[in-house]
Amino acid sequence: MKRLFFTLLLAAQTTLAAQTTITPPANKYSPADDVKMGLQAKAEAEQQLPIMRDDEVTSYVEGIGRRLVNAIPANLRHPEFRYTFEVVNVREINAFALPGGPMFVNRGMIEAAHSEGEVASVMAHELSHVALRHGTAQASKATKYEIGTIAGAVLGAIIGGNLGSVVAQGTQFGLGTAFLRFSREFEKQADIEGSHIMASAGYDPRDMANLFKTIEKQGGSGAPQWLSDHPNPGNRQDYILKEAQMLHVTNPVSDTRGFEQVQAHLKRLSPAPTTEQAMKKSGRGGQTSGQSQPVPTGRVSAPSSQFRTYTEGDLFRVSVPSNWRELPGGNAVTFAPEGAYGQTNGQSVFTHGVELGATRNETHDLRTATDELIASLASGNPNLGRPSGYDNVSVAGRKGLRATLSNTSEVTGQPEAIQLYTTLMRDGSVFYTIGVAPRDSFRDYQNIFQRIVGSIQLMD
């Protein structure tokens, strides 16, 4: 059935143009689900983020947005969707869009752009993720365990880019953000579809290639958040330029005064704060419950030799020392003793314990998937060392890998050891266990990690 539909669609499209045909990925949610999840996350985002109330800026961004929305091809229009555009008064180069249509563009993104076409590029890319329903398509592929926390995960993943674990309540590793980060396949789809939307909205799709150059240049302390949420699928600029050659720009935008005026206007305002500064100042980003968070002290009692078994959704079962507490997160669960976990600099951290979770992977190859997992750990943990290699181990009776990495604890400033175990789940997701302990007590904890991993039962 599916294949037939695909063939028909292709046949219909080839008569139109030589441009690449983008087929929306399989999705078990309804467009109404997209809207519902998106609105929930939007309300949260508006509460947490410093939204700009500046008519000149917002109406400018909205104008570009409307133009792009009107250029969405008929097959990707969902009557339920409501596209809205808000500007966040922070410095970082970032933008994100939520399922069903709400979009947030950072002021820093507008300031960094060299042309209106570049602003339109990032918006067209985000819009394409929405129109292709990538958020829920990604969730459709997620494991059952992840589905249980999908609203939080979608929010965490998308807002995570802006707020890090402040809202996402992700772990110290930033896995919360990495987890629902779009796959390379979806990134390429959003680039290509975005270039089509740009061309029919009157923008030069080559500006998208320029934009990526602009973003990459803004290195600073690290690659802009937008790039880590929207990773380069490889040869990004090349394939965009190639696609652009096949596109005919209809109704070209020639007036660039709006862009110049907005940039000049922004220059006259006091500089945008960083997201972190904005959150601190407003007291936003705390727990919505208002409860005070425990502060990790790094001083903990030794792991109990008694183990307690936990069943996590219908994904897995694991036994951990009975004096470790269960700390559910957006996409993962952490077990840690009192004194070993809490908030430091707005980050959810732990100094002793394990984190277990699953993350999607396209490759279906354990080694590559583990490499990618370590790369995403490293992006949130600048001091993380590289493993010298992988050991072949068994995890839940399956072929698994183990890697030992060094890191510096955010809490104590002391060296810590990270032990990572991975195995593949039936749907290709990587199931991981991350053990963390101070380096000087790693030898003792290694045995605990081993025993914990030995107890894991996967139920996929």
Applying CB under 5 A, which residues contact Zn ion? Answer: 182, 187, 190, 230
Which C-beta is closer to Zn ion: that of 227 or that of 327?
227
Q: Rounded CA gap, 15 and 170, in Å?
A: 47
Which C-beta is closer to Zn ion: that of 178 or that of 366?
178
Which C-beta is closer to Zn ion: that of 67 or that of 188?
188
- Minimum separation from the CB atom of position 38 to Zn ion (A): 16
CB atoms within 10 A of CB 283: 7
- Minimum separation from the CB atom of position 231 to Zn ion (A): 8
Which C-beta is closer to Zn ion: that of 96 or that of 145?
96
Query: For Zn ion, which residue has the nearest CB?
Result: 230
Please enumerate in sequence order all residues whose Cβ is within 8 A of that of 287, keeping only pairs 6 or more positions apart, or say none.
169, 293
Which DSSP state fits 289? Answer: T
CB atoms within 10 A of CB 423: 25
- Minimum separation from the CB atom of position 25 to Zn ion (A): 13
Residue 95, strand partner residues: 105
Please enumerate in sequence order all residues whose Cβ is within 8 A of that of 265, keeping only pairs 6 or more positions apart, or say none.
54, 56, 57
Identify the three-state secondary structure at position 130: helix
- Minimum separation from the CB atom of position 226 to Zn ion (A): 8
- Minimum separation from the CB atom of position 182 to Zn ion (A): 5
Helix axes 150-163, 31-48, angle to 10 degrees: 40
- Minimum separation from the CB atom of position 400 to Zn ion (A): 31
- Report residue 331 as tokens: 């996409």
Helix axes 55-69, 184-201, angle to 10 degrees: 100
Burial tier of 450 (Cβ tally within 10 Å: 0-12, 13-18, 19+): middle
Which C-beta is closer to Zn ion: that of 182 or that of 432?
182
Which C-beta is closer to Zn ion: that of 19 or that of 121?
121
Contact 306, 258 (CB under 8 A): no
Which C-beta is closer to Zn ion: that of 91 or that of 125?
125
- Minimum separation from the CB atom of position 239 to Zn ion (A): 14
Q: Which of 181, 165, 159, 53 is nearest to 107 (CA)?
A: 53
Contact 123, 9 (CB under 8 A): no
Give buried/exposed letters for 88-98 (b at 16+ CB in 10 A, else e): bbbbbbbbbbb
Which C-beta is closer to Zn ion: that of 218 or that of 404?
218
- Minimum separation from the CB atom of position 72 to Zn ion (A): 16
- Minimum separation from the CB atom of position 100 to Zn ion (A): 16
Q: Rounded CA gap, 200 and 214, in Å?
A: 23
In the β-sheet with 457-458, what is the strand arrangement from edge to edge?
307-312, 316-321, 457-458
Which C-beta is closer to Zn ion: that of 192 or that of 377?
192
